[in-house]
Amino acid sequence: MFDKRNERFPIKDKYIFLSHCGIAPLYGAALRREIDVAEAQHRTGALVFSQYDAILDGLRSAAADLLKTSPGNLAFVKNTSEGINLIANGYPFQRGDQVISYIHEYPANHYPWKLQEQRGVELILLPDRDITGTASPGRPVAWTMRDLEERITPHTRVVALSHVQFASGHRADLKPLAELCRAHDIDLVLDVAQSLGSVPFYPDELGVASAVSSGWKWLMGPIGTGLMYTSERFRKKLELSMVGAESMRQGTDYLDHTWNPFASAKCFEYSTSPIALAAALECCIRELPLATGIDAITTEIIRLQDVFLNVLDRARFRPVLSPDAMRSPILSLIGRGDVTGARRAMLKQNVITTERGGYLRIAPHFYNTDDEMERSARMLNLLE
């Protein structure tokens, strides 16, 4: 079912790559698509812009198919930070309003909200809870619905959380979270960088206000690409905090300064977009999660984790595991000592992992093989 050939994923010629939660290898067909568009600019200059709208429309269409939403709800951004800053800075906060987040959120989903304190907004951080009972003191794990409910007040305007936590791999159960936010008329803003392309996510069905992701993790796209989802209702709340020619309906009529922004999420694409990168990201979406099937990808990632865990010496490395239904694409391990040494030792043997928050993170994708997972576990078992 899965095409795992080295020809399609040439990083496998040298490395066992288990770090898709970091910077993933650029998908080969996407690289070729990126080169094609860059070559067109190289050979024709401004004539490359004959492809401009079609490329961006194609990316939004592919992303809409992945998220089961309308292309008009999607904008092409450079990264998660850019998208969440556009949301936070454009939100109609009043002095005394509150945002609830988690104490160990990734910076892209923390600093934009922290910045709003200059507008008199209070940022309330959920405490860390070891809901798995398997972590060690001092390591980040998760937040709880109980803590969230206790902190909601009439002044709560936004809940800003990650679908999958970058350090522990904790995966939030989005359905009750979204229902709670809707019940209190709170806008739910999600960082989905660690789930988009590896776990199903359908924001319209959930009633999510906004979600933002980079494109170079589980989507295997180019660095400098990302996607920003906003519901139509939520977009109407937001002020534009960054604008340019691309925001306006009059397009290339640059002497027409009428304030006439797009009603769609295209209004957030405020300046000239890197269309070679956008074309590459569209290729990734169409040929990886859309062609393979996102549910099948999730199942295969978890199966590969289990292959790894069946060989791993758990006396040496202890996994932090959520209940089966909420397993995430990130498998975080606690070592008996500093995991930095383990990561470096694995790299010397051409196995690429990452460490965050005191964890060694194992993040395979659907194209990894059982043999790669077993070999990686055996390598860890032999480390001092």
- Report the 3 state secondary structure along the chain: CCCCCCCCCHHHHCCEECECCCCCCCCHHHHHHHHHHHHHHHHHHHHHHHHHHHHHHHHHHHHHHHHCCCHHHEEEECCHHHHHHHHHHHCCCCCCCEEEEECCCCHHHCHHHHHHHHHCCEEEEECCECCCCCCCCCCCCECCHHHHHHHCCCCEEEEEEECECCCCCCECCHHHHHHHHHHCCCEEEEECCCCCCCCCCCHHHHCCCEEEEECCCCCCCCCCCEEEEECHHHHCCCCCCCCCHHHECCCCCCCCCCCCECCCHHHHCCCCCCHHHHHHHHHHHHHCHHHHCHHHHHHHHHHHHHHHHHHCCCCCEEEECCCHHHCCCCEEEEECCCHHHHHHHHHHCCEECEEECCEEEEECCCCCCHHHHHHHHHHHHHCC
pLDDT, tens digit, for every residue of 308-325? 999 999 999 999 988 877
Q: For residue 339, what is the domain's CATH number?
A: 3.90.1150.10
pLDDT, tens digit, for every residue of 336-353? 888 999 999 999 999 999
* Domain stops at, among 236, 267, 290: 290
Q: What share of the chain in percent tops pLDDT 70?
A: 100
Average pLDDT, integer, range 224-237 = 98
In a domain? residue 32: no
pLDDT, tens digit, for every residue of 49-66? 999 999 999 999 999 999
pLDDT at 384: 66
* Domain stops at, among 266, 290, 314: 290
In a domain? residue 378: yes
Structural domain boundaries, residue 330: 10-27+293-382
Residue 246 shares a structural domain with residue 283: yes
pLDDT at 322: 82
pLDDT at 140: 93
Average pLDDT, integer, range 111-122 = 98
pLDDT, tens digit, for every residue of 14-51? 999 999 999 999 999 999 999 999 999 999 999 999 99
Residue 245 shares a structural domain with residue 113: yes
Residue 207 shares a structural domain with residue 316: no
Residue 352 shares a structural domain with residue 256: no
In a domain? residue 190: yes
* Domain stops at, among 273, 290, 307: 290
Residue 82 shares a structural domain with residue 151: yes
Residue 307 shares a structural domain with residue 281: no
Residue 206 shares a structural domain with residue 282: yes
Residue 209 shares a structural domain with residue 284: yes
What is the domain count for the chain? 2
Given a cut of 90, whether residue 222 has pLDDT beyond it is yes
